[in-house]
Amino acid sequence: MTTPIIQTQGLTRDFKKTRAVDGLTLAIQPGELFGLVGPDGAGKTTTLRLLAGLLDITEGGATVAGFDLARQPESIKPHIGYMAQQFSLYAELSVLENLQFFAEIYDVSPADLAERTERLLTFAGLTEFEHRRADHLSGGMQKKLALACTLIHEPEILLLDEPTTGVDPVSRREFWNILTELHLDGTTIIVSTPYMDEADRCSRVGLMYAGRLVICDTPQKIRAQLHGEMIELLPDDWQTAKALTENLPGVLEVQTYGEALHLLVDSGKKRLPQIKRALTKGKISFRSARLAPVRMEEAFISLIRRLEE
Amino acid sequence: MSWRHIWAIARKEVRHIVRDRSTLILVLFTPTALLLLMAYALTVDIKHVPIAVLDYDRSATSRAFIQQITAGEDLELYAQASSMAEIEAMLMQGEIKAALVIDPNFARDLLGMRGMPMQVIIDGTEPGSGGFAVDHIAWRAEEFANQSLTNQIQAMGFSLESLQPLDLRVRTWYNPGLKSRNDLIPGLISMVLGMPALSVALALAHEREHGTLEQLMATPIGRAELLLGKMIPYIIVGLLNVIMLPAFAMAWFHVPFNGNFPLFFALSAIFLFAMLSMGIIIGVFMRTQAAALALSFLLIFYPGFFLTGIFFPIASMPEAMRMEALGLPGTHYAIITRGIFLPGIGLDILWPYAVMMAVLGLAYTGVAALFFRKKLG
């Protein structure tokens, strides 16, 4: 194992009444694509801000890119690219002017700037919009421009706070294709996301809950943590179906997804016919009931539910 | 300290100002507009104040007195009342601002040199024009009494020359017409030049509100580079106003400018630096533009109005307020603008004020740099 590029030791941050991040201990290797997931208010944003040197540390410590976070935050900054959750570029400046601005702040030479601008604009699909004002771009394009601005100094570490929240599905996919390319190029990326399909694309995922890192592993291993199998049920009336199935033998957990129910059972083969019979007997009509693979989403909801109990 | 960083910040700020039309108008023209508005609103040349007279004496002397009082443009005889009730009604209706009641013994006492019994009733809800009426009636009464006295002495056979009365003549220099605008406008210029400070406070709060400050804090930019880059465009805008405002005052209000313009420009630059430092402090501490605006009024405009001596003499302030006034760049700058505009005095007299402004500017910048950290929350 190489030395971690980010290493935190009991990293803690308090706000007036709440402990936003509680004793975070984490080691991230160079080149990882690390996903930070968890419900709203779990401490994802605070963690990323701490790592970017934007908040004072209450307790514990961390090193980022070989520098101590508490004592040398300014030495860390040239090595990181940080992208906040809200749009934080200059609305009145054009795409090119925003890139140029951040290049100058990061001391990128004019020659490098010219070469990188062209590459990043192509990369982000913004070439034909280079003279457009940032506030006249669509939400997805704004996110891609923000990413391009944080990449202008070719940082070793990218800290991205929910970069795809509020972005249409097509732009989301494009954004993740860019992240995957950066990952393949060797950039270390920490990205927080509320979307579990995105978490599935990470090399490692950390689940935060109430300020603590409750689980941290590869997506495969996290899915494997969920014991049992899953049955996807599409009833006509999910409320009565939920009330009925919850108490059936072998059903560990029922999660609702809109109109659909995901039932966690000890054995799919054994329980599926039983459940179908029970529904017919209870006069609850359903469109389909089938065995389905367990996704990250079920695994996390199950984990969080256990934590809440 | 990297000039490239400062330049990057300053240039993006200029682009922001120029492309956002409301900001452009705010920073470029508000000082002139404010000067125009306030100069008209605050010029205290009151005319034609309506008064009523209730004459209980009804003598030739009292009639001559009434005529003298209303001879000028200052007071206007609205009505001759016949009872106190009538006067009260007119005051209540707001038809008159003051009433003069002449005692039945007015002529007798005046000619007997025992005084001139009369009463002035004013509308206390409008102390401005009421007080003005009292002053002007008193002034005319004195004139009338002097005239009457002179007549009597001459009637007794004395020549005026042999009396050698004390002759006190007040001569006003620099503003011989005592035009209140000539004195007011240079003072107002010092006040309206506080606008760029407000703009820079708002600009910093704007960055915080829009999250761009968070983005900047995550970059290697130095704190001083950021604050200086932010200030430079507003200093330039302020200096444009330093040219526009006197030009406007001279062209529109015909205020004379007797001093040295390059000196005025240089001292104004020091003033702007000190004021913008105050603006930066406000921007550093306030989280939102609304809060920055409120605090700017509290720290820049209200003190600029009440404490810098433009309207209320500093010498008559209580000790604590006088100390506060000395901590405001505007106090020193108001002395400079008034000194350069009318008497046209130079640096030999004004240097202590210039030094004070520079010291305040450096102190405020120091405070801002001390409290501005690249941290959130």
Give residue-wise pLDDT tens across range B310-354: 777 777 777 777 777 788 888 899 889 888 988 888 888 889 999
Instruction: For residue A78, give how far its alpha carbon lies from the nearest alpha carbon of chain B (Å).
Output: 6
Tell how far CA B131 is from the center of its chain: 19
Q: What is the pLDDT of residues A119-156, one digit of tens each?
A: 899 888 899 999 999 999 988 899 999 999 999 999 99
pLDDT: which is higher, A228 or B228: B228
- Long-range contacts at B137-143 (CB < 8 A, ≥ 24 apart): B137/B51, B137/B69, B137/B75, B137/B98, B137/B100, B140/B68, B140/B69, B140/B72, B140/B75, B141/B65, B141/B69, B141/B116, B143/B68
Note the pLDDT of residue B171: 58
Residue B318 in contact with partner chain A when CB distance is under 8 A: no
Nearest chain A alpha carbon to B208: A88
Across the range B239-256, mean pLDDT stands at 92
B262 interfaces chain A, CB cutoff of 8 Å: no
What count of CB pairs under 8 Å joins A to B? 72
**pLDDT of B52-64, one tens digit each?**
999 999 998 899 9
Residue B72 has pLDDT above 90, yes or no: no
Instruction: Convert the pLDDT of each residue in B147-163 to its tens digit.
Output: 888 888 788 777 666 65
pLDDT at residue A105, as a whole number: 95
- Residue B377 near chain A (CB below 8 Å): yes
Q: DSSP labels for B292-349?
A: HHHHHIIIIIHHHHHTSSSSS-GGGS-HHHHHHHHTSHHHHHHHHHHHHHTT---HHH
B263 in A contact zone (CB under 8 Å): no
Give the least confident one: A59-63, A70-74, A192-196, B317-321: B317-321
pLDDT band at A169 (very low <50, low <70, confident <90, very high): confident
Percent of chain A with pLDDT over 70: 100
**Cβ–Cβ under 8 Å, residues B304 and B328:** yes
Distance CA B62, CA B116 (A): 10
Tell me whether residues B216 and A105 touch, CB distance under 8 A.
yes
Instruction: Please state, in angstroms and as integers, the Cα–Cα distance from residue B113 to each residue in B46, B101, B118, B152, B157, following that order.
Output: 33, 19, 14, 10, 17
Residue B22 contacts A where some CB pair is shorter than 8 Å: no
B interface test, pick of A104, A132, A135, A161 with most B CB neighbours within 10 Å = A104
8 Å CB contact of B8 and A105: yes
- Give A274-309 as a DSSP string: HHHHHHHHTT--EEEEEEE---HHHHHHHHHHHHH-
Q: Taking the mean position of all CA atoms in its chain, how far away is CA A143?
A: 15
- Report, as an integer, the average pLDDT of A223-243: 85
Whole-model pTM over 0.90: no
Q: Flag the least confident range among A42-56, B200-214, B301-315.
A: B301-315
- Cβ-defined contact of B211 to A78 (cutoff 8 Å): no
pLDDT bracket for residue B94 (50, 70, 90): confident
CA distance to partner chain B, nearest, from residue A117 (Å) = 17
Distance from CA of B252 to the nearest CA of A (A): 36
Q: What is the pLDDT of residues B286-299, one digit of tens each?
A: 989 999 999 988 88
Backbone CA torsion sign across B154, B157, B160, B166: negative
Q: What is the pLDDT of residues B165-179, one digit of tens each?
A: 555 555 555 555 555
Closest residue in A to B375 (Cα) is A54
pLDDT at B168: 55
**Of the candidates B15, B214, B219, which has its C-beta nearest A92's C-beta?**
B15
- Give the nearest chain A residue to B10 (CA atoms): A101
CA distance A226 to chain B (A): 38
Confidence of residue B45 (pLDDT cuts 50, 70, 90): low
Nearest CA in chain B to A152: B219
**B214·A107 Cβ contact <8 A:** no
Q: Is A92–B376 a contact, with Cβ atoms under 8 angstroms apart?
A: no
Write out chain A residues lying below 8 Å of B220, CB-based: 74, 77-78, 105-107
Q: Compare all CA atoms of chain A with the CA of B23 and give the residue at the minimum distance.
A: A92
pLDDT on residue B176: 52
At residue B250, does pLDDT exceed 60? yes
CA distance B217 to chain A (A): 7
Q: Is A53 close to B215, i.e. CB distance below 8 A?
A: no
B239: distance to nearest CA of chain A, Å?
24
Q: Do A89 and B8 touch (CB under 8 A)?
A: no
Is the pLDDT reported for residue A86 higher than 80? yes
- B19 touching A, CB under 8 A? yes
- Please tell me the predicted confidence (pLDDT) of residue B278: 93
Q: Is B8 on the interface with A (CB under 8 A)?
A: yes
Task: Report the SS3 class of residue A143.
Answer: helix
Chain B: residue whose CA lies nearest to A101: B8
> In this predicted structure, what is the pLDDT of residue B234?
93
Q: Does B223 touch chain A (CB under 8 A)?
A: no
Which chain A residues are Cβ-neighbours of B212 within 8 angstroms? 88-90
- What is the chain A residue with the closest CA to B5? A105
- Cβ-based neighbours of B114, under 8 Å, separated by 6 or more: none
Q: Do A53 and B4 touch (CB under 8 A)?
A: no
Q: Starting from the edge strand earliest in sequence, which strands make up the sheet with A212-217, in order?
A: A80-83, A157-161, A188-192, A33-37, A204-209, A212-217
pLDDT (0 to 100) of residue A1: 59
Rounded Cα distance, A280 and A246, in Å? 16
Report the pLDDT averaged over residues A246-265. 86
Return the structure tokens found at B86.
Answer: 């009538």
Say whether residue B7 is in contact with chain A using an 8 A CB cutoff: yes
Residue B150 one-letter amino acid:
T
Confidence (pLDDT) at B43: 67
Alpha helices in chain B (DSSP H): 3-19, 21-42, 60-69, 84-93, 106-111, 127-155, 160-163, 180-192, 195-209, 212-217, 223-253, 261-285, 289-296, 302-306, 319-326, 329-341, 347-371
| pLDDT on residue B160 | 64
CB–CB contact B218 A97 (8 Å): no
Gap from A258 CA to chain B (nearest CA, Å): 34
Q: What is the pLDDT of residue B6?
A: 95
Give the C-alpha distances (Å, rounded to integers) separating A248 from A162, A226, A257, A275, A293: 39, 19, 20, 8, 21
Provide the residue type at B149 as one letter.
L
pLDDT at A110 over 90: yes
What's the gap in Å between the CA of B16 and the closest CA on chain A? Answer: 6
- Reported as a pLDDT band with limits 50, 70 and 90, residue B38 is confident
pLDDT reported for residue A167: 82
- List the beta bridge partners of residue A67: A64
Q: Which amino acid is at A49?
A: R
Chain B hits for A155, CB-CB cut-off 8 Å, are none
Percentage with pLDDT > 90 across chain B: 38
Given CB atoms, is B3 within the 8 Å cutoff of chain A?
no
Continuous H helices in A1-83: 44-51, 73-76
Q: Which residues, in sequence order, are CB contacts of B13 under 8 Å at separation 6+?
A: B203, B229, B230, B232, B233, B234
> Residue A108 — very low, low, confident or very high, per pLDDT cuts 50/70/90?
very high
Cross-chain Cβ contact B4/A107 below 8 Å: yes
Q: Is some CB atom of chain A closer than 8 A to the CB atom of B221?
A: yes
Nearest CA in chain B to A155: B219
Q: How far is the alpha carbon of B23 from chain A, nearest alpha carbon, in Å? A: 12
Q: B218, A54: Cβ pair inside 8 Å?
A: yes
Which of B2, B20, B214 has the CB atom closest to A84's CB atom?
B214
